[in-house]
Amino acid sequence: MKRPENASHNQTTASPTTGRSAGTALSVDLTTMERVQAMVLGWYAAHARRFVWRVPNPDPYVVLVSETMLQQTQTARIQEKLPLFLRQYPDFSALAATDNATIIRAWQGMGYNNRALRLRDCARAVIERFGGLLPDTADDLRSLPGLGPYTASAILSFAFHRDVVVLDVNIRRLYSRLFLQLTTTREVMPEPLLVHVAGEVYPRGRSSEWHQACMDIAAQYCTARAPRCLFCPITKACRSAFRMAEATPPHVSEPSHRGKPNRIWRGRIVELLRGLPSDQTIGLAELKSLLFPAEDETDGPWLERIVAALERDGLVDRGEAANGIRLRS
Ligand code: SF4
């Protein structure tokens, strides 16, 4: 196992301040770190999940598309949709040339349609500013539309095999449980400590493999609500194994209508418009009756606001006529 580059990496110590763990010192020596690395990578060599986007030297374009899809869509759905999407949009040029309505139709079944538009805008920026080649520095990647810190680091690691930290919600959860002695499934390591640990723990030269392995373990064993410690490949190294009581995550309220979040309704509206022939539009009243066969007086004003928001986001056009709602072309 390759030793971390910085000599100070042989001992990492800090004081987390999670709720009930406050004051517990975190100390992970190099031997423990190397043991964890061997367990994780050994397991991954035999049990890595197989996905169409996971190939030895992936095309950076495919990594960008798959990582964008993975942000809010289940892997099984992406397995099915990614090959179809790549057939329609095999490269940045094809993606950059598409219009809103066409790519929203191609995105069918993926949810969060804004992502499709951001991905297309990103392709246009790659063509205009980088000659059609995805850049390979964090600053350039972060300057592209829709690329946040996670996606930029995932591209650097998975597509360009750079030694970088990749931290998503699953890896945050895994590191928290692995290196702290937690007692409920809700606790997580404080972010500054997580960033520190994440920078220490991954084996240099194997960032891509390591982070994908951690994602697989987190997704299959170290799940948010009910970790499967009995079957987990890193149980013997884990400080929280078999210790955590299930705790319901805090309820995060979001704007809703009739008991469903607005984001679900937005998806339904785009789905209805996607089903229309490309030369057909629909009126607000008709759209309302399709969504709500039994009308409530709050539906009309609410739907006005939702359609206006979809229009602002570039997903729909309302046209001149009262019945002019359609996907934006
Ligand atoms: S042993 Fe349990 S808590 Fe620890 S990483 Fe595995 S599943 Fe998560």
- In this predicted structure, the answer to whether residue 11 has a pLDDT above a threshold of 50 is no
Mutate to test the pocket of ligand 1, among 229, 231, 243 (most ligand atoms within 8 A of CB): 229
Percent of the chain with pLDDT over 90: 62
Supply φ then ψ for residue 317, to 5 degrees. -120, 145
Structure token pair of residue 164: 């970088």
Tell me the mean pLDDT in the region 263-291: 87
40 lines ligand 1 (CB under 6 A): no
Name the residue with the closest Cα to ligand 1, atom 8.
222
Buried b (16+ CB within 10 A) or exposed e, 47-65: eeeebebeeeebebbbbbb
Ligand 1 centre from 194 Cα, in Å? 17
The pLDDT assigned to 38 comes to 96
User: Can you give the pTM of this predicted structure?
Assistant: 0.81
- In this predicted structure, the answer to whether residue 298 has a pLDDT above a threshold of 80 is yes
The pLDDT assigned to 283 comes to 87
228 lines ligand 1 (CB under 6 A): yes
234 lines ligand 1 (CB under 6 A): yes
36 lines ligand 1 (CB under 6 A): no
Range scoring the smallest mean pLDDT among 24-28, 64-68, 274-278, 307-311:
24-28
Work out which ligand 1 atom sits closest to the CA atom of 228.
7
Q: At the topology level of CATH, where does 1-250 sit? A: Endonuclease III; domain 1 (1.10.340)
Ligand 1 centre from 30 Cα, in Å? 20
154-197 per-position pLDDT tens digit: 999 999 999 999 999 999 999 999 999 999 999 999 999 999 99
Do residues 141 and 135 touch, judged by C-beta distance below 8 A? yes
232 lines ligand 1 (CB under 6 A): yes
Return mean pLDDT, the chain: 88
Q: How far, in Å, are 69, 81, 86, 157, 287 from residue 65 at the CA level?
A: 6, 11, 9, 15, 32
Q: Where in the chain are all domains bearing CATH 1.10.340.30?
A: 1-250
182 lines ligand 1 (CB under 6 A): no
| Antiparallel, parallel or unpaired: β 256-257 and 26-29 | unpaired
Do residues 146 and 118 touch, judged by C-beta distance below 8 A? yes
Q: How far, in Å, are 40, 175, 329 from residue 276 at the CA level?
A: 49, 47, 13
- Alpha carbons 152 and 305: distance in angstroms, whole number: 33
178 lines ligand 1 (CB under 6 A): yes
Mutate to test the pocket of ligand 1, among 214, 222, 242, 243 (most ligand atoms within 8 A of CB): 222
Q: At the topology level of CATH, where does 256-327 sit? A: Arc Repressor Mutant, subunit A (1.10.10)
Ligand 1 centre from 221 Cα, in Å? 7
Q: How far, in Å, are 59, 65, 86 from residue 81 at the CA level?
A: 17, 11, 9
Structure token pair of residue 198: 């994440």
Tell me the mean pLDDT in the region 296-319: 88
The pLDDT assigned to 322 comes to 59
